């Protein structure tokens, strides 16, 4: 939260967040908690005078117990009066310093008067000791909150609900106070899905062009092309039943299954054309529809069984747990469902389309296409050479395999490659034991330097821990989220790969 008017203190903003804003957002379905950070938590501080306690002979635990009992609501009973009943209860929650000062601790037996908190202590309103600070764009302390999503929820849906709730409560914010979003996962998710959807469409278009180019027969090309969107779209039905979300990896599974889906239609169509050419040349005899059916029955079972073997090969991936399971299971699921549906379509939809589109068309021969003729001749030459030089072929292949060993040993390994997400999580550390004041100074200077880069849109820095059991970070650990502008607004000199070292040198 940012106060543009300057009328609200950090304590006021933190109080508003802890007692109002946090509960609004936590009521959103899918939100686990709102972890606050920054600002000052107001606290009634009772500074006890040990000399007065010694005079009155009051132990410290008796003072603690008196304050605890004095800050409480109590229920009463019903009173019947004038034909009506009234509920009685005691309102005892502390609302001011004076309320604590008037709490009775004990009774002075000599004087017969009550001993109050103000008789043995000084009560003031002050801030709680801070274990975390936040900074925005290097301008100083701010009050922030991190919305934590429940496990298994859809990030996009939860984020949309939170945004709607923030719009709903925006008119009730104090004058001059506004909520600034420092990191929004939905932007990365939507941008990634948009990119991968474009790749999926481009993949389908390129595959369709290649099919048309090699078959040079529009009716024959339509059958493998139709399988692509049909199998891909139907694959989302079982994903919905298993509660998988549409993400980069799930769509990537469809892209990787494209080759298997296309093979189904191409092999069936090619075999039908081959049999029809044999019928035309008189090599076989019979009724044209029956020959077409026999051609599909000849290659249909092998295609179906080979695809099912591929499907079974993905089952072990579902045994992965942790980050590996979350990453690869959606991809394996969509790829498995898509290939399985392609196998089903190979014995249902494709034969029906073949009988519709190729029933009266002229059969196409492999020799009718210049690219097919060229590839066929090259295949025969290479195959003939390998038959003549069998030993030399094996030696060459084994030598090539041996050359890959030193290359493989020099390759590094990592769980995920570096990704450009449009943001940077910068996490420097200091020496242990640093104070909150010094940490806040370092954090502000660091954020100010980061914000000075023209490629940077917003900087939100955090040092220490948020008010959550899931964050044990000390003050020596800083977490700064750097939101970058669109790449077309960048200077020509730094690229993303060079931008990170450039930032480190500057800081």
Whether 371 shows a pLDDT value over 80: the answer reads no
DSSP codes of every residue in 406-449: HHHHH----SS-----SEEEE--B--TT--HHHHHHHHHHHHHH
Confidence check: pLDDT of 173 > 60: yes
Nearest to 254, CA basis, from 238, 268, 235, 271: 235
Report yes or no on 94 lying in a domain: yes
Domain membership of residue 173 (yes or no) is: no
Residue 290 covered by a domain = yes
CATH of the domain at 474: 3.30.70.1430
Q: Is 78 helix (H, G, I), strand (E, B) or coil?
A: strand
**Judgement on whether residues 212 and 306 belong to the same structural domain of the protein:** yes
Claim to verify: residue 276 and residue 238 sit in the same structural domain: yes
Instruction: Answer whether 35's CB lies under 8 Å from 467's CB.
Output: yes
| 331 shares a domain with 231 | yes
Residues 276 and 342 in one domain: yes
Q: Is residue 352 located within the same domain as residue 388? A: no
On whether the CB atoms of residues 155 and 149 are closer than 8 A, the answer is yes
pLDDT band at 290 (very low <50, low <70, confident <90, very high): confident
Same domain, 438 and 335: no
**Do residue 328 and residue 444 come from a single domain?**
no
- Which of 502, 428, 424, 429 has the alpha carbon at shortest distance from 456? 424
Same domain, residue pair 460 and 489 = yes
Q: What is the pLDDT of residues 321-345, one digit of tens each?
A: 877 888 888 888 888 888 888 888 8
Task: Please indicate, yes or no, if residue 18 is contained in any of the structural domains.
Answer: no
pLDDT digits (tens, 9 = 90+) for 433-443: 899 899 999 99
Q: For residue 400, give its domain range.
A: 378-413
Residues 361 and 489 in one domain: no
Residue with token string 């106070």: 177
pTM greater than 0.85 (yes/no): no
Number of domains in the chain: 4
Residues 327 and 266 in one domain: yes
Give the pair of three-digit tokens for residue 480: 């700064």
pLDDT band per the 50, 70, 90 thresholds, residue 266: confident
Chain centroid to CA 82: 64
Q: What angle do CA 349, 352, 353 make, to 5 degrees?
A: 85
Residue 328 domain-assigned (yes or no): yes
User: Would residue 399 count as lying in a domain?
Assistant: yes
Output the domain CATH number for residue 242: 1.20.1640.10
Per-residue pLDDT band for 372 (boundaries 50, 70, 90) equals: confident
402 shares a domain with 279? no
Judge whether 245 lies within some domain.
yes
Q: How many CB atoms lie within 10 A of CB 100?
A: 23
Q: Is the pLDDT of residue 197 over 90?
A: no
CATH number for position 114: 3.30.2090.10
């Amino acid at each position: 939260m940012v106060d543009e008017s300057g009328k609200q203190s950090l304590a006021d903003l933190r109080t508003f967040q802890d007692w109002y804003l946090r509960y609004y957002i936590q009521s959103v379905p899918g939100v686990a908690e709102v972890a606050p950070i920054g600002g000052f938590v107001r606290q009634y501080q009772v500074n006890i005078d040990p000399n007065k306690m010694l005079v009155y002979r009051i132990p410290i635990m008796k003072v603690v117990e008196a304050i605890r009992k004095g800050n409480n609501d109590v229920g009463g009973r019903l009173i019947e009066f004038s034909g009506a009943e009234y509920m009685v209860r005691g309102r005892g929650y502390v609302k001011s310093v004076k309320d604590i000062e008037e709490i009775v601790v004990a009774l002075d037996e000599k004087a017969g008067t009550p001993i109050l908190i103000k008789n043995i202590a000084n009560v003031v309103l002050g801030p709680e000791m801070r274990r975390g600070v936040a900074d925005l764009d290097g301008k100083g302390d701010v009050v922030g909150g991190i919305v934590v999503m429940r496990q298994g929820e859809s990030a996009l849906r939860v984020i949309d609900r939170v945004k709607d709730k923030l719009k709903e409560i925006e008119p009730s914010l104090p004058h001059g106070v506004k909520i600034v979003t420092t990191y929004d996962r939905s932007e990365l998710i939507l941008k990634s899905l948009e990119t991968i959807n474009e790749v999926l469409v481009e993949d389908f278009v390129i595959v369709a062009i290649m099919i048309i180019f090699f078959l040079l027969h529009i009716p024959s090309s339509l059958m493998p092309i139709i399988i692509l969107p049909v199998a891909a779209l139907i694959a989302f039905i079982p994903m919905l039943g298993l509660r998988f979300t549409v993400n980069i990896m799930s769509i990537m599974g469809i892209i990787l299954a494209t080759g298997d889906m296309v093979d189904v239609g191409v092999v069936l169509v090619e075999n039908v054309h081959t049999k029809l050419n044999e019928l035309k040349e008189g090599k076989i005899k019979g009724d044209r529809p029956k020959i077409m059916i026999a051609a599909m029955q000849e290659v249909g079972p092998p295609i179906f069984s080979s695809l099912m073997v591929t499907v079974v090969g993905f089952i072990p991936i579902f045994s992965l747990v942790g980050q590996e399971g979350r990453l690869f299971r959606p991809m394996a699921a969509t790829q498995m469902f898509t290939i399985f549906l392609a196998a089903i379509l190979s014995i249902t939809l494709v034969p029906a389309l073949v009988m519709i589109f190729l029933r009266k068309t002229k059969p196409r021969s492999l020799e009718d296409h210049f690219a097919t003729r060229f590839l066929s001749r090259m295949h025969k030459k290479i195959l003939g050479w390998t038959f003549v030089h069998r030993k030399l072929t094996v030696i060459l292949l084994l030598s090539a395999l041996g050359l890959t060993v030193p290359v493989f040993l020099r390759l590094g390994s990592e769980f995920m490659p570096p990704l450009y997400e449009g943001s940077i999580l910068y996490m420097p550390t200091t020496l242990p034991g640093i104070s909150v004041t010094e940490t806040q100074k370092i954090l502000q200077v660091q954020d100010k330097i980061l914000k000075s880069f023209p490629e940077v849109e917003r900087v939100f820095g955090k040092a220490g821990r948020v008010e959550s059991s899931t964050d044990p970070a000390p003050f020596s650990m800083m977490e700064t989220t750097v939101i970058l502008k669109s790449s077309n607004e960048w200077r020509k000199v730094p690229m993303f790969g060079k931008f990170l070292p450039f930032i480190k040198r500057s800081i």
